[in-house]
Amino acid sequence: MHRPLSRKSWLGSGRLGLALAACAGCSFLIPGGAHRGEQFAAGNAPEPTISTTVLSCVAKSVPYGAGDAYTAQFNALARAAMPAAPVPLSPSATSVLCNTVAASGAFHAWRETTPPASAVAIIRELAQATGAKSIAIPMMRLYARCEQDQKTVRDSSGRVIATVDEGTQTCRMDRFKDVGLFLFAADGTILYRSTTQTGQTSNTDPEPDMNKVLAAIPATFSAPEGGAVAAAPAASPMMVAPAGGGAMPPAAYTPQAAPAGVGPTDPKVDGAIAEVNPKAPADCKKYVKTVCRAATIPDNARLQMCAAYVGTVNNLVAQQGAKAGDTCKSMMPSAPR
């Protein structure tokens, strides 16, 4: 039930309306924006710069797996914007970062403050493991909208006589989503961040806002050193609470043993490519073949990378259908060769 506004509330609303009208172009009405740190006023981030897979922070009450399509969509767009092989974040690193720099109260902060010690430790460990001087992390926070379950009581004639709360609630994903790109120095300092909140308009497709935060990243990307590259996790990301602290985890990424080298023409690559959804548009199939057979992908990571891209494309097809072809076509110019 909506409580009617009092006269005082109407007056307050009127003042608010006048204020909004006078500030129709003010950027603070929509959270976020692109901001550089005080020590990073111009130029590109220190090289080498590596990127990670998408940090997906999902509210605990969102049904498990509900955010997978959005995570895959953001991952695919991030790979187009940052074409070098990404480093996958471990569940423990995901938990710490989601509860610190990507917490709901900090996601759009425009002042570049020093991140909490646990987040700094994660970034430093990633830099040490990969040899990076800068680390870019695409981040996304998904919220839940919950409603109390109610039962309708009717009399013998079928007329509603009461509505009773059942003591449970049903939750679904909210249309508002936070998306952003965070660029860190190797010491954990935030050099740059670009964030926005999707769902502000009637258009529920987050892709335009995802592309917005991924545009004009002040960095040149390269693959990480050593064996830190691994396939992005196929399962849903760890669900975390919207805010709060956490203890320092033991590892920032999930190290995996390097598999035997597999060349671009190895039959195993053909087998990995064959896992693409048969209903995928031709541009998506072409994109997967190009990436999986790229000469620039290390042979000891080829099958893992190929499987990751196949999974991303399949998720895109499941979400967008035939329109996934346009996304794949837009990613082709920056695909590894």
Per-residue pLDDT tens digits for 231-285: 333 334 444 444 433 333 334 444 334 345 788 899 889 998 999 999 999 999 9
- Burial of residue 113, with CB atoms counted within 10 A of its CB: 0-12 exposed, 13-18 middle, 19 or more buried: exposed
Q: Does the pLDDT at position 304 exceed 80?
A: no
pLDDT of residue 306: 83
User: 199: how many CB neighbours lie within 10 A of its CB?
Assistant: 16
Q: Rounded CA gap, 35 and 103, in Å?
A: 18
Q: Rounded CA gap, 72 and 63, in Å?
A: 17
Tokens of 176: 């508002």
**What is the band of 111 on the pLDDT scale with cuts at 50, 70, 90?**
low
Q: What is the DSSP string of 213-256?
A: HHTT-S--B-PPSTT---PPPSSPPPB--SS---PPPS-SB---
**What is the band of 1 on the pLDDT scale with cuts at 50, 70, 90?**
very low
Q: Does the pLDDT at position 184 exceed 90?
A: yes
Q: Rounded CA gap, 31 and 265, in Å?
A: 47
Residues 6 or more apart whose Cβ sits within 8 Å of residue 177: 70, 140, 141, 142, 143, 197, 198, 199, 206
Per-residue pLDDT tens digits for 66-90: 777 788 888 888 988 998 888 888 8
Per-residue pLDDT tens digits for 186-220: 999 999 999 999 887 666 778 889 999 999 999 99
pLDDT of residue 307: 80
pLDDT of residue 23: 42
Element (H, E) at 306: helix 302-320
**What is the band of 110 on the pLDDT scale with cuts at 50, 70, 90?**
low
- In one letter, which amino acid is 37? G
User: Which position has the higher pLDDT, 139 or 313?
Assistant: 139
Per-residue pLDDT tens digits for 15-40: 434 443 444 444 344 567 889 888 88
The arithmetic mean of pLDDT across residues 297-303, rounded, is 74
Q: Rounded CA gap, 249 and 239, in Å?
A: 16
The arithmetic mean of pLDDT across residues 179-188, rounded, is 94
pLDDT of residue 31: 67
Average pLDDT of the chain is 77
Instruction: State the residue for tokens 């950027």.
Output: 27
Candidate ranges 221-230, 302-311, 315-324; pick with highest mean pLDDT: 315-324
